[in-house]
Amino acid sequence: MDLATFKQSLTEATPPAGLTPALEALWWDAKGDWDKAHGCVDDESGADAARIHAYLHRKEGDQDNAGYWYRTAGAVFYSGSLNAEWGELAAERLKD
């Protein structure tokens, strides 16, 4: 799936089948459901889930918690817009 197809899927009521937890979290976030997005990665481990956690907590406005998750993911605190970060995160994970 490419980024355009992923974005197009946002018109649907449910995410496409077979998404990773990270991509499903980004999908729900784009639909405006932060809680459901967070739930997708809340029990996941690893750098990928940590990186999505970082983005979600930055979006939430909890910069300290976001900083923890960026460090856990081995990433620097993102300084661009939330929309740009979402797009980069989605595009990177769709390549895999």
* pLDDT at residue 57, as a whole number: 97
Report the predicted TM-score, pTM, of the whole model to 2 decimal places.
Answer: 0.95
Token pair listed for 32: 């405006």
* pLDDT at residue 50, as a whole number: 97
Query: Can you say whether residue 61 is alpha, beta or left, with left for phi > 0 and alpha for psi between -120 and 50 degrees?
Result: left
| Residue 37 and residue 25 in contact, taking contact as beta carbons nearer than 8 Å | yes
pLDDT tens across the length of the chain (96 residues): 999 999 999 999 999 999 999 999 999 999 999 999 999 999 999 999 999 999 999 999 999 999 999 999 999 999 999 999 999 999 999 986
| Residue 55 and residue 84 in contact, taking contact as beta carbons nearer than 8 Å | no
DSSP string covering 34-96: HHHHHHHHHT--SHHHHHHHHHHHHHHT-HHHHHHHHHHHT-PPP-S-HHHHHHHHHHHHHH-
Chain centroid, CA 60 distance in Å = 12
